[in-house]
Amino acid sequence: MARLDDLKGFLIAPDPEAAGLTRRLAGTDQTGAATQVSVVEERPLTIFLNSREIVTAMTIGDYPKYLALGFLRNQGMLNDDDEVTGVEYDDDLEVVVVRTARETDHEEKLKKKTRTSGCAVGTVFGDMMEGLEGLELPQTQVRLSDLYALSNQINRTPSLYLEAGAIHGTVLCEGARPLVYMEDVGRHNAVDKIAGWMFSEGIGAENKTLYTTGRLTSEMVIKTALMGIPALVSRSGFTAWGVDIARQVGLTLIGRLRGRRFVCLSGEERLLRDADPETVGEEDARHRRKGARP
């Protein structure tokens, strides 16, 4: 298992200035005056597993190999013990091919697609819920002091969300430290990129927290649980089914985290209240993109 003890700062952080992620477009504002805004790019990425085409996802185009690995892992098409013999990305064709030593056959699974509430048409295959049967997540404590520290640092980190909006961010964290910060037009894509990075680097999930800017839907909860991560935190709100599943699998679920305020709907017994909310400042509007949808 990879060790992160001696590393400092983000291992992967957003790069709002990276070429190809945004485009400046001319328009007019509410007064009719000319203006220019940064707009997030969106492009298709087709994922193959060996010789079989699995899905075409709409994505911003960064970290395509992690996205492919994480998608296949979270859909149960790639197991922990699978030997990945190659991950090939063709930028011109916008295709990723993941090759494994074991021959795979997912025709039945591909027939059982369910459209989910994820942005950019998220897709969950019919038997993902079966992976939750008997699942026991680590009963890891979540410190309030860590939550407040994470929220403060993540909200101040330069990102596409702050630059252009119309995007979701997801951050893999350990204690009070954010490790990997991924963004995409769909929250599920950002999660899949993190899952792919963890799979590729052999990173354990038992002491991790997943932070997201998006809603805590059933798909988000299922993917977090299947990744083995014991806590999921969001700036945004919940869906009832997402809460039901979190309680079923023992996932700590915290939403509406803004400044000192938050709501915990699953895993209250695992919260370590080691910080006084009254000592925490309100969220500074300078670190939120005005008008951006959470």
| pLDDT of the residue at 81 | 85
| pLDDT of the residue at 285 | 60
Domains of the chain: 43-130 (3.10.20.10), 142-287 (3.40.140.10)
Helix then strand then coil, in percent of the chain rounded to 5, is: 25, 30, 40
Residue 130's CB is within 10 A of a number of other CB atoms, namely: 9
Which of these ranges, 60-64, 122-126, 233-237, 281-285, has the smallest mean pLDDT? 122-126
Global confidence as pTM: 0.86
Query: Rounded mean pLDDT of 11-31?
Result: 92
Q: What is the pLDDT of residues 252-268, one digit of tens each?
A: 999 999 999 999 999 99
CA distance 181 to 172: 7
Q: Which residue has the higher pLDDT, 285 or 78?
A: 78
Q: What is the mean pLDDT of the chain?
A: 86
120, pLDDT greater than 60: no
Q: Which of 269, 163, 256, 271 is nearest to 212 (CA)?
A: 256
| pLDDT of the residue at 111 | 55
Report CA 242 to chain centroid distance, whole Å.
15
114, pLDDT greater than 50: no
| pLDDT of the residue at 112 | 54
| pLDDT of the residue at 102 | 87
Query: Rounded mean pLDDT of 143-165?
Result: 91
Q: Which stretch, 100-114, 265-279, 280-294, has highest mean pLDDT?
A: 265-279
| pLDDT of the residue at 239 | 96
Per-residue pLDDT band at 71 (split at 50, 70, 90): very high
Angle formed at CA 141 by CA 137 and CA 142, multiple of 5 degrees:
110
Q: Which of 188, 186, 190, 189 is nearest to 154 (CA)?
A: 190
* Contact predicate 125/76, CB 8 Å: yes
